[in-house]
Structure 1
Amino acid sequence: MKTLILSALAFVLSGQVSTEVKTKEATVYICTGPKAKKYHATETCRGLNRCSGSIKQLSVSSAKSKGFTPCKICY
């Protein structure tokens, strides 16, 4: 009986964990300068060193929809 209850509990909890992972999207960083075209995996990527604007954090899908492509240094 204990095994059945523990198995059912594990099944329910595993479903909740996978749902949370699917809804969370990766965060990337972009430069808001006029010539910026790449998104970066980290805020400290050397591709952002010469950013003339500010560094902004957003989702991958949002960066792609704005026309940004992955940085060749950090991806």
Structure 2
Amino acid sequence: MKTALLFIYTFLSLNLTMALPSHQKATGESVYICISRGAKKYHSHKCHGLLRCTHEIKAVTRAEALKRKYTACKICY
């Protein structure tokens, strides 16, 4: 059972890493933002706060999110 869970976790982690742009793989500082007028927070990849986003979700660096005036989500940070 532990082996199966470890395999699933590893597989999901690899898929998430492969989906990120190459410049964000190197820094490890990627966050996710909802591209809409009302969005004001950035999220980690695990946050359920992103489920409310009905627009595009974009992976950016934390510096870019701060530059765009996004603040950290209270759920995931």
Q: Same fold (TM over 0.5)?
A: yes
Whether 1:67 and 2:69 are equivalent positions in the alignment is yes
Q: How much is the aligned-residue C-alpha RMSD, in angstroms?
A: 1.5
Deviation string for 1:48-74 (max 9, x for gaps)? 111021100000000000000000000
Whether 1:39 and 2:42 are equivalent positions in the alignment is yes
Q: What residue in structure 1 maps to residue 60 of structure 2?
A: 58
> Percent identity among equivalent residues?
44
Q: What residue in structure 1 maps to residue 50 of structure 2?
A: 48
Q: How many residues align?
A: 52
Deviation string for 1:21-57 (max 9, x for gaps)? xx72500000002100000011x41111110211000
**Structure 1: which 5+ runs fail to align?**
1-22
**Structure 2: which 5+ runs fail to align?**
1-25
Partner of 1:49, secondary structure, is: helix
Counterpart CA distance in 2 for 1:26 and 1:51 is 21
TM-score by length of 1: 0.63
Deviating 4+ runs (over 2 angstroms)? none
TM-score by length of 2: 0.62
